[in-house]
Chains A and B, each alone.
Chain A
Amino acid sequence: ILNVEQSPQSLHVQEGDSTNFTCSFPSSNFYALHWYRWETAKSPEALFVMTLNGDEKKKGRISATLNTKEGYSYLYIKGSQPEDSATYLCAFPPNTGNQFYFGTGTSLTVIP
């Protein structure tokens, strides 16, 4: 079982604030790193799939970076909006298997 850690566990920010969270994963056996957004009462949805060291991906106000050598990825949200409130999960599929290892998630609440 691989250890994938996310921090912080939860976060409350004011509308308009920018924020970021971290996903740490084993730097060996790297294959890809996934970010998912999970809104309450909905299904998790993919945000990014990142594969290369130094990768930066962006979707609207949300962006992510990847450092495979040190084993971490950052997710950034610029100008948070209430609709950004969700749990953000990262998932690490090592190159030695066929499964995803998930972090415990960061729960973001954006206060209007």
Chain B
Amino acid sequence: DGGITQSPKYLFRKEGQNVTLSCEQNLNHDAMYWYRQDPGQGLRLIYYSQIVNDFQKGDIAEGYSVSREKKESFPLTVTSAQKNPTAFYLCASSLRPRGMMAEAFFGQGTRLTVV
């Protein structure tokens, strides 16, 4: 079955540690996105990538880093520089990066908690 797989579903991190969230898709989509959700707020874009080896900052990129070495993979690293990392993280992909009429497909999310 085609889709997007995020792992892990739940993640606990100690303060000061970096942690990497995995996002893999087998939909052959060009564009991939990382969003963050906080209570009472809409999904906010962290980073997006239109093509392998290229990615752009979203509205809240500070304290995060990404890589896009393969078309199917777009991991997100939450660094120790991110002041408030506890949140729900959602990965998405879409078929045509400039064609925003293409619907987005989503993973099931990773809930990160800093302890």
A contact set with B: CB distance below 8 Å: 1, 4, 31-32, 34, 36, 41-46, 49, 51, 89, 91, 93, 95, 98-105
B43 touches which one: A1, A49, A51, A102 (CB < 8 A)? Answer: A102
Taking beta carbons and an 8 Å cutoff, which residues of B are in contact with A? Answer: 4, 31, 33, 35, 40-45, 48, 50, 56, 58-59, 90, 97-98, 100-109
Picked from A32, A51, A98, A105, the residue with its CB within 8 Å of the CB of B98 is A98
Nearest CB in chain A: distance from B110 CB, A: 12
Q: Which one of B35, B44, B56, B90 contacts A98 once the chains associate, using CB atoms below 8 Å?
A: B56
User: Are A98 and B41 interface neighbours, CB within 8 A?
Assistant: no
Which chain B residue has the least Cβ–Cβ distance from A90?
A: B42
Are A49 and B50 in contact (CB-based, < 8 A)? no
**Within 8 Å CB of A100, what residues of B?**
33, 43, 45, 100, 104
Chain A: minimal CB distance from B103 (Å):
4
